[in-house]
Structure 1
Amino acid sequence: MSLVPFKALPPESRLFIFPAAGQLRSDAIAKATPMIEAFLGQWKVHQQDPIVGYQIRHERFLLVGVDESTIPPSGCSIDALTRFMKELGSSLGMEWLDGPEVLYRDSAGVQGATRAQFATLATQGEVDAGTIVFNNTIQRLGELETSWEIAASDSWHGRVFRLKEAAAA
């Protein structure tokens, strides 16, 4: 089996981030876990077993890491992963985001908004340059701790939405 603990993967591993459209309930996570492990345990890249791990974070994101030092994922294997994620979402009665939804953190947890909604929140002062946003474009496991959850001012969000500086506490 090629499935390893997520933390055992090297930092240069390829990272795929699948954000859920809403919070993953504990029963959905319990149902999804064996399905994810079964798929990743038999996932093939050019008829070889990649070294792969996964983690669910913040009850909102499924992270899949692949150690590319042995065999990098191919177009076909990435397509298979994407198909599996759609099937997983269907079986759980939920959807994975693949569009321009903005995911950010507020006092209630991880929130999602369309770009238009996020712009309105910015205008209303409900989000600002200090708001933590999720940069789901990162591609390496080592970037998770430094470049995934970042202040909006350090991401494209700060430029696109012209966010105001955070109010002094």
Structure 2
Amino acid sequence: MLVTFDSLPDHAKVWVYQTSRILSETEINEITNYLSEQVANWESHGSPLQASFKFFYDKFLVLAVNTDLQEPSGCSIDSSTKWLKNIQQTLNIDFFDRSIAYFENEALNFFPVLEARKQVLAGKINAETTLLNHQVNTLSDLKNNWKLKASDSFMKKYFV
């Protein structure tokens, strides 16, 4: 059952997907149409899931489920992954990019995760650099912990 993203409780389960490139308005509209239908009919063990999704920065898709009504099952989570793979096949959009997103001034930039130490040594990332933490688990985490200082992230080991 599709609901508005902002109507979900703070403890709703979230998944953050990062695309391999910035999406156009046309692509976002096409994906929104497709996902609206999928999410509206999303179920776990025959029970509807109250869920929604939202795009951020034209590059991140956040899928969220209200776990108060029904917990998503492994099969229902697999089906959501299949939706994104279907989009990848039809629109050539990869939702499984694992690069690190960070802000330089107001601009969003990226580097491969395996280059984290190299970015610090080169002076591109410092302890105060804001990163996006895709390991958030709830809507509250998304609101409060998605943007982190590098020193509060997995990169903290490079700043001791």
TM range (shorter): over 0.9
Unmatched segments (≥5 aa) in structure 2: none
**Conserved? CA contact 2:20–2:97, under 8 Å:** no
**Which residue matches 2:28?**
29
Q: What is the RMSD computed on CA atoms of the aligned residues?
A: 1.6
Unmatched segments (≥5 aa) in structure 1: 165-169
**Conserved? CA contact 2:8–2:65, under 8 Å:** yes
**Which residue matches 2:124?**
126
Q: Tell me the secondary structure at the aligned position of residue 128 of structure 1.
A: coil
**Conserved? CA contact 2:84–2:95, under 8 Å:** yes
Which whole-Å deviations, capped at 9, do the CAs of 1:1-24 have from their partners, x for residues lacking one?
x11110100011111111111212
Distance 2:106 2:147 in 1: 16
Distance 2:108 2:89 in 1: 22
Matched, 1:93 2:64: no
CA apart distance, 1:50: 0.8
Which whole-Å deviations, capped at 9, do the CAs of 1:23-57 have from their partners, x for residues lacking one?
12222112111011011111111111111011101
CA apart distance, 1:98: 5.4
Change (3 A) 1:76 1:98: farther
Amino acid at match of 1:25: S
State the identity as a percent: 22
Q: How does 1:1-169 map to 2 (within 5 A)?
A: 2-97=1-96, 99=98, 101-107=99-105, 109-159=107-157, 162-163=158-159
How many residues matched?
Answer: 160
Distance 2:159 2:93 in 1: 31
Change (3 A) 1:39 1:103: same
**Conserved? CA contact 1:127–1:163, under 8 Å:** no
Distance 1:51 1:23 in 2: 28
Amino acid at match of 1:75: G
Distance 2:90 2:108 in 1: 23
CA apart distance, 1:108: 5.9
**Conserved? CA contact 1:45–1:74, under 8 Å:** yes
Instruction: List structure 1 runs of 4+ shifted beyond 6 angstroms.
Output: none
**Conserved? CA contact 1:60–1:110, under 8 Å:** no
CA apart distance, 1:110: 2.3
